[in-house]
A and B are shown apart, each in its own frame.
Chain A
Amino acid sequence: MTEPEGPRVMLVDDHPVWIEAMSGDLEAAGFRIVATASTGDEALRRARATRPDVMVMDLQIPDPDGATCTEILLREFPDMHVLVISASGERDDVLRAIKAGAKGYLVKSATPDELLEGVRRTADGDAVFTPGLAGLVLGEFRRMVTDAAKHNDEGPILTTRETEVLRRVAKGMAYREIADELFVSHRTVQNHVQNVLRKLQLHNRVELTLYAIEQGYSGEAH
């Protein structure tokens, strides 16, 4: 018996029409839909049972919400690749999912081609950066640096080049345009974007660990 080719994808969305539309497009493009879910509970249960390679996660789903599911699942399966989609993207939720380790973020008004490309890139482990996400991440690094400065600490800093790349992504430039303007290769631009995301997620894990340790200490004191 031969396993069919193509990455194994799970779709999470509380609107059945969306699941239908997306799974049709993805299957036609050679992906295998191994599970679908319409609530957070279902998503967690079925993801644990099927272990998909790629998870397409709508943020607005009934309890627990998509960002929380992303946090839980990526803690259990760090190798899973999550692509976040959302119709009315609340920046807080998007940021939370990204910090937890999601590979990228698309709005639901993205075209079917953009979605396919996004899932393909996510499956390859590449970051899917939209202008909105780049703006969020830039803001988050600024916040972390300011926060760290308050504690006479050094936060995670973006290199000048990373900032340049990210700002251009946020201003709607395609990777190729950015590469041309900065005299680097397309792949270099992609690497920078990837690094930024990794830095953010690594810092998030460090923060969570520190937080857990602090809580542990104060827990003992009481």
Chain B
Amino acid sequence: MRSGPVWISRRDSAASQVLLRPLLRVVNWLRIALCVHALLVNALRWHEATHRGLLVAAMIWMVTWTALAAIAYARPASRRQAFIVADLVVACALMGLSGPILGTSVFATDYLALPVYWAVCAPLVVAMAYGVVPGAVAGAVVGGILIVVTPSWEPALWSWVVVFGLLGAGIGVLVDLLLASVGERDRAFAETASLAERERLNRIVHDGVLQVLALVEREGPGLGARGVRLASLAREQESRLRVLLLDRNPLEAPVSDQVDITSVLDRHESSTVTVSAMAERVMVSSREALEIDAVVTEILANVAKHAGPTARAWVLLEHEGRELIISLRDNGVGAKPEDITKAGERGHIGVRDSVLGRIRDLGGQAVVRAAPGRGVDWELRIPVQ
């Protein structure tokens, strides 16, 4: 017989141990209470018993086994298959001795077995350790011993089989369900952990690539015209990789209704756009995030189109009280303010609707400052919760 830990593979996880320990403690208390109950019942029928000496011996053995089981099931090292089997054998033996020790006159009046309900504890442990079917079988066997020893079809007799069998099955089902949910939770934890680990490894790998790209960017211009071309390619790839690294697009498949607006804005970072924000995350509803993203996209597209080839842009996110302040500034050729806000001939179509309209829908305000030769400076104020 296998003498390793009894909790066979599917019950080996640390979580199942955590779950089973308190259950076994409950069974131990149940065993003690039922032992006291059996002692009382047998004390009351003491004078009618056939073999009083054997009855005393059986009761002493029951008390001793109760103590042994309490110790054995409390320590993981002694929770072994051998002990569970021994537990079952003791229960069966005490049940089987009911007729001979008590005598037919006493036993046949109510068919209350020698250990009374104490004997159900062993099948309960089997149900916890092995599940529903072994639990039901163990219960039926312990209850069925009475029929084997006293062949009779009295309902009071075979009811033991039914009740013990059903108890074993019921506890087995409950423990199986509990373990399944614990296993599910463990799996979810493990998945999250492995995802985080993969992201960490990605970061390390990509960090190396970023470093080399940045180096090419830096050293390229010193190598003449081809080097300059190399450097600009490296710069482009570096910004692309950086955006890729900034997690997956938080707007594509929002996990919840809330989105971190800093990571939404970070995706606009490029070789010509610098994004500055606070260190902590700022959660807004995904609807607000989508709108804000569209506005920023529109303004930056306008910079790319109209500010000139060497223009750079800066995005600043601030969170003041219940307001988000997003500033977008470029150092391009600039424009007259009215050219920007009035949908215009100069091509600033879209600004009026997509910027001013959207910000107004969000309950916010947009202010634009611009002058020819001095870039364009937007300030968007959006109320948030």
- Which chain A residues have a beta carbon within 8 Å of chain B's beta carbons? 15, 17-18, 21, 60, 87-88, 91-92, 94-95, 108-109, 111-112, 131-136, 138-140, 142-143, 167, 170-173
The answer on a CB contact under 8 Å between B206 and A88 is yes
Bound complex: CA of A171 vs CA of B377, how far in Å? 9
A217 to chain B, nearest CB (A): 28
B238 within 8 A of A: yes
Residue of B nearest to A109 (CB): B214
B312 within 8 A of A: yes
Residues of A within 8 Å of B275, CB to CB, are 132, 135
Q: Which of A87, A131, A132, A139 contacts B211 (CB 8 A)?
A: A87
A204 to chain B, nearest CB (A): 13
Query: Can you name 15 A-B residue pairings with CB atoms under 8 Å?
Result: A17-B215, A18-B211, A88-B203, A88-B242, A91-B277, A95-B279, A109-B214, A131-B274, A134-B276, A138-B278, A140-B278, A140-B279, A143-B280, A167-B316, A172-B313
B163 within 8 A of A: no
Which secondary structure dominates where chain A touches chain B? Answer: helix
Given contacts A131-B316, A167-B327, A172-B329, contact A108 B210 (CB under 8 A): yes
The answer on a CB contact under 8 Å between A142 and B219 is no
The answer on a CB contact under 8 Å between A131 and B277 is no
Bound complex: CA of A12 vs CA of B271, how far in Å? 25
B251 within 8 A of A: no
Given contacts A109-B235, A167-B316, A171-B327, contact A143 B278 (CB under 8 A): yes
B252 within 8 A of A: no
The answer on a CB contact under 8 Å between A172 and B274 is yes
The answer on a CB contact under 8 Å between B217 and A15 is no
Within 8 A of A (CB), among B192-244: 203, 206-208, 210-212, 214-215, 217-219, 235, 238, 242
Bound complex: CA of A138 vs CA of B276, how far in Å? 10
Q: Which of A108, A133, A167 contacts B214 (CB 8 A)?
A: A108
The answer on a CB contact under 8 Å between A135 and B211 is no
Residues of A within 8 Å of B327, CB to CB, are 167, 170-171
Given contacts A87-B214, A112-B218, A170-B276, contact A142 B319 (CB under 8 A): yes
Residues of B within 8 Å of A132, CB to CB, are 274-276
Given contacts A108-B214, A167-B316, A172-B314, contact A135 B276 (CB under 8 A): yes
Q: Which of B208, B279, B320, B329 contacts A91 (CB 8 A)?
A: B279
Residues of B within 8 Å of A134, CB to CB, are 276
The answer on a CB contact under 8 Å between B278 and A21 is no
Q: Which of B219, B279, B314 contacts A92 (CB 8 A)?
A: B279
The answer on a CB contact under 8 Å between B219 and A21 is yes
Residues of A within 8 Å of B219, CB to CB, are 21
B356 to chain A, nearest CB (A): 20
Bound complex: CA of A167 vs CA of B219, how far in Å? 32
- Which chain B residues have a beta carbon within 8 Å of chain A's beta carbons? 203, 206-208, 210-212, 214-215, 217-219, 235, 238, 242, 245, 271, 274-280, 312-314, 316-320, 327, 329, 331, 377
B385 to chain A, nearest CB (A): 15
Bound complex: CA of A140 vs CA of B34, how far in Å? 64
Residues of A within 8 Å of B207, CB to CB, are 60, 87-88
The answer on a CB contact under 8 Å between B218 and A142 is no
- 5 residue pairs, one from A and one from B, having the closest CB atoms: A139-B278, A135-B276, A172-B314, A108-B214, A171-B329
Residues of B within 8 Å of A88, CB to CB, are 203, 206-207, 210, 242, 245
Q: Which of B238, B276, B279 contacts A131 (CB 8 A)?
A: B276
* Extra inter-chain contacts (10) besides given A142-B278, A172-B329, A173-B329, CB under 8 Å: A15-B212, A17-B211, A21-B219, A109-B235, A131-B274, A132-B276, A135-B276, A139-B278, A167-B316, A172-B331
Bound complex: CA of A167 vs CA of B317, how far in Å? 10
Residues of B within 8 Å of A136, CB to CB, are 276-279
A120 to chain B, nearest CB (A): 17
A130 to chain B, nearest CB (A): 8
Most buried by B among A95, A138, A140: A138
Residues of A within 8 Å of B377, CB to CB, are 171
Given contacts A131-B276, A132-B274, A170-B276, contact A139 B312 (CB under 8 A): no
The answer on a CB contact under 8 Å between B245 and A170 is no
Given contacts A88-B242, A88-B245, contact A135 B215 (CB under 8 A): no
Residue of A nearest to B377 (CB): A171
The answer on a CB contact under 8 Å between A109 and B316 is no
Residues of B within 8 Å of A135, CB to CB, are 275-278, 316-318
Residues of A within 8 Å of B329, CB to CB, are 171-173
Q: Which of A17, A60, A112, A139 contacts B277 (CB 8 A)?
A: A139
Bound complex: CA of A134 vs CA of B320, how far in Å? 16
A116 to chain B, nearest CB (A): 12
Residues of A within 8 Å of B316, CB to CB, are 131, 135, 138, 167, 170-171
